[in-house]
Amino acid sequence: MNNRIENNYVSEKQLRQLNQSRVEAKIVVLKAVGYPLESSFIETPEIEVTNKELFEIYAQDQWSGYKLHKGQYIFDQKLIPDFAFQVVDVRPDNSYITHNTSFLMFKQDSKIKQTLSKHEYKVSDVVGQTKAKNKAKIITNYLENPDKFKNWAPRNILFYGRPGTGKTMLAQALANELNVPIHMIKATSLIGNHVGDGANQIHELYKQARYTKPTVIFIDEIDAIALERKYQSLRGDVTEIVNALLTEMDGIEDNDSIITICATNNPEILDYAIRSRFEEEIEFTLPNDEERRIILEKNIKTLPLKCSFNLDKLVCETKNLSGRDMKEKILKTALHRALCDSRDVINDEDVSYALDEIRKEVKHSDKMFV
């Protein structure tokens, strides 16, 4: 008898430990799919959630304890029995719904989608750019403890610099390292076919962000929509888009715990009203000699062929090139030349060929390649 009681006690203890070890789902993004029909789903009207708090109570009540992963289907058993929802995203993946889990309904016709980095970058993978990485640390600290910062939280930040210097890569690294949703979009996708489309897309973007906050919005190529007034004729009248972005960046709505990071190669053509909203402008500079060596060494390790060329010489000859240029225009071109010649080693001649090719591209540039 005593042994039996002891065994039961251990079993209950193990059960409690199991429950405590479960990873809690912080946020779940659902998409309405419809009713199952012969192993497929019929087309269904969009379900719009007008009261987020009420929907969360409803969802938590019936799905509490469910373990979810991306792509999984779950079924309603209350108001619309057997109606299917697909899990578009769950953070963290393979976690359990609790009464603290936040829910977001994915809008099928929306041009704005919550996207997560498909790369495995870390902030430490970005070579150089110390100032930008320090800002990333501040963002990370804030999103881990938003109540601590309050009115001193980071809000609007501008990344600018030559293409290929790591602006988007740093945002992708943040997406991987932060345990919060991140909305990554190109500004060109916000421009609609009709007057007002762009402004509506801006408001929709921030509306979705408010559902998932704390969160980060990363808008690449911001100059596509935030042109200075004198440049607006180049792409049509984008005044309503600029005004919509100003409204959201000012936080007229409840935008606490939403950080906006914008990136551009041409900060000088941004509308001043937009530019003045950034608390900090961080320049992404071209790598110096030491940084170029690190970038080259990292990429050389991943090449499918052996390398037998003078690395010191290549470091000197790639001055004024970005990390992306060194990878895509030097190493990749040299690799392809070696493959075309059916060789299993990349040599100095391959590298010289790649350097000659890129010199042709920049021959007429005001920033001459040295």
Do 255 and 133 fall within a single domain? yes
Domain with residue 152: its CATH number is: 3.40.50.300
Q: What is the pLDDT of residues 137-194, one digit of tens each?
A: 888 888 777 778 777 878 889 999 988 888 888 888 887 777 677 788 888 777 655 5
Residues in the chain: 370
45-76 per-residue burial string, b: 16 or more CB within 10 A, e: under 16: eebebeeeeebbebbbeebeebebeeeeebeb
Do 27 and 75 fall within a single domain? yes
> Which one is predicted more confidently, 111 or 208?
208
- Angle, helices 130-144 vs 167-177, to 10°: value is 30
Do 173 and 313 fall within a single domain? no
Pick the last residue of a domain from 245, 261, 284.
284
Do 158 and 264 fall within a single domain? yes
Pick the last residue of a domain from 284, 311, 326.
284
Banded model confidence at residue 108, pLDDT cuts 50, 70, 90:
very low
Is residue 38 predicted with pLDDT exceeding 70? no
Banded model confidence at residue 44, pLDDT cuts 50, 70, 90:
very low
Do 273 and 329 fall within a single domain? no
Average of per-residue pLDDT values in the chain: 77
What's the pLDDT at 369?
43
Average pLDDT over residues 98-120: 62
C-beta separation of 87 from 73 below 8 A? yes
C-beta separation of 262 from 217 below 8 A? no
Domain with residue 49: its CATH number is: 3.10.330.10
Q: Is residue 131 part of a domain?
A: yes
Q: What is the pLDDT of residues 321-368, one digit of tens each?
A: 989 899 989 999 999 999 988 988 999 999 999 998 888 765 544 444
Do 168 and 248 fall within a single domain? yes
Is residue 63 predicted with pLDDT exceeding 80? yes
Report the distance separating Cα 35 and Cα 81, nearest Å: 9
Report the distance separating Cα 222 and Cα 201, nearest Å: 14
Q: What domain range includes position 355? A: 289-369
Q: Is residue 6 part of a domain?
A: no
Q: Is residue 118 part of a domain?
A: no
- Domain count along the chain: 3
* Adjacent-strand bridge partners of 258: 215
| Residue percentage of the chain with pLDDT more than 70 | 77
